């Protein structure tokens, strides 16, 4: 059997990833915003949605506060448009990741994307089209623009008091399926994924994945891979078990 290999990919793998997010949230701000402010806006919207979901009133306060839903719909629209017009795209490093970190270990691997767009999915699909016998399965752990209600925003979790039961079950089912698929994972690649402290559930998911004696290597490609490695070490019962390799984009260009 092929060694079990997986790629976890984040926004750092996509060029101008936050541009459509900023464009979407600009519609909800009286001042011009940047990516950091957009993230703050989303986190605050999540907090307020939770708060109002716990309130009751003659008209049902929880159903009246729908800013979060409106923002998700706008995000989906802007992301889909940006992807279609080529305003966002997978970084060229993805080809190196696939050909040097994934395929040499196994022609079959999993892709776990925390991105709402599909640029990385399509890029990998294009790369594999010229490699006979290769195959991948993609999980959009934080939702996709194709289903705005499933978008996972900063600080959200799989179980929220305001989320419809059908969406909660869908997200929960995907997490269970992912854990089953990645059981006994041997090789893990992290690309453009910072493991932000706000993504506590993602951190826990990774902890479950690498908490196995089967894990042998962890490759981290990031602008600051050492910081990601420090966060990964916290998740492992035996920090000396797997070989963690830190790679920067500049290192690839030198090869």
Domain termination site, one of 58, 84, 110: 84
Residues 154, 249: one domain? yes
Residues 99, 26: one domain? no
- Structural domain boundaries enclosing 60: 19-84
Q: What is the CATH number of the domain that holds 194?
A: 3.40.50.720
Strand pairing category for 14-15 and 89-90: antiparallel
Question: What Cα–Cα distance (Å) separates residue 143 from each residue in 83, 112, 117?
Answer: 16, 11, 9
Cβ–Cβ < 8 Å for 162, 53:
yes
Residues 151, 73: one domain? no
Residues 96, 72: one domain? no
Residues 108, 234: one domain? yes
pLDDT of residue 57: 57
Residues 224, 111: one domain? yes
Q: What distance in Å separates the CA atoms of residue 142 and residue 78, rounded to the nearest whole number? A: 17
Domain termination site, one of 36, 56, 84: 84
Q: What is the mean pLDDT of residues 100-114?
A: 95
Specify the higher pLDDT residue, 49 or 21.
21
pLDDT of residue 65: 65
Q: What is the mean pLDDT of the chain?
A: 90
Cβ–Cβ < 8 Å for 2, 108:
yes
pLDDT per residue over 120-162, tens digit each? 999 999 999 988 899 999 999 999 999 998 898 999 988 888 8
| Confidence bin at 211 (pLDDT 50/70/90) | confident
Q: Coil, strand, or helix at residue 15?
A: strand
Phi and psi torsions of 241, nearest 5°: -70, -60
For tokens 């990645």, name the residue. Answer: 182
Domain termination site, one of 84, 105, 129: 84
pLDDT of residue 22: 98
Question: Is the full-model pTM beyond 0.95?
Answer: no
Residues 122, 191: one domain? yes
Residues 74, 93: one domain? no
pLDDT per residue over 23-75, tens digit each? 999 999 999 999 999 999 999 999 988 888 877 655 545 545 688 999 999 99
pLDDT of residue 248: 95
For tokens 């926004």, name the residue. Answer: 11
Total domains in the fold of the chain: 2
Residues 114, 167: one domain? yes
Q: What is the mean pLDDT of residues 159-184?
A: 85
pLDDT per residue over 86-98, tens digit each? 999 999 999 999 9
């Amino acid at each position: 059997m092929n060694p079990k290999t997986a790629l976890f990919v984040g926004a750092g793998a996509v060029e101008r990833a936050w541009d459509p997010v900023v464009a979407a949230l600009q519609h909800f701000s009286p001042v011009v915003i940047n990516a950091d402010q957009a993230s703050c806006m989303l986190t605050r919207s999540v907090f307020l949605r939770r708060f109002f979901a716990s309130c009751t009133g003659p008209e049902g306060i929880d159903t009246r506060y729908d800013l979060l839903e409106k923002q998700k719909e706008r995000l989906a629209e802007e992301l889909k448009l940006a992807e279609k017009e080529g305003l966002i795209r997978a970084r060229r490093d993805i080809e190196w990741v696939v050909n040097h970190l994934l395929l040499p270990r196994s022609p079959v691997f999993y892709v776990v994307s925390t991105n709402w767009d599909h640029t990385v999915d399509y890029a990998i699909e294009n790369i594999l089209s010229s490699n006979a016998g290769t195959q991948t399965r993609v999980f959009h752990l934080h939702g996709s623009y194709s289903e705005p209600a499933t978008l996972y925003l900063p600080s959200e979790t799989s179980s929220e008091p305001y989320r419809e039961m059908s969406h909660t079950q869908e997200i929960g089912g995907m997490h269970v399926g992912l854990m089953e698929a990645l059981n006994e994972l041997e090789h893990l690649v992290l690309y453009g994924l910072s493991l932000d402290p706000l993504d506590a559930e993602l951190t826990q998911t990774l902890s479950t994945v690498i908490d196995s004696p089967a894990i042998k290597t962890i490759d981290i490609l990031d602008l600051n891979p050492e910081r990601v490695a420090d966060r990964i070490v916290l998740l492992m019962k035996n920090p000396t078990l797997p070989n963690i390799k830190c790679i920067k984009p500049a290192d690839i260009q030198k090869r």
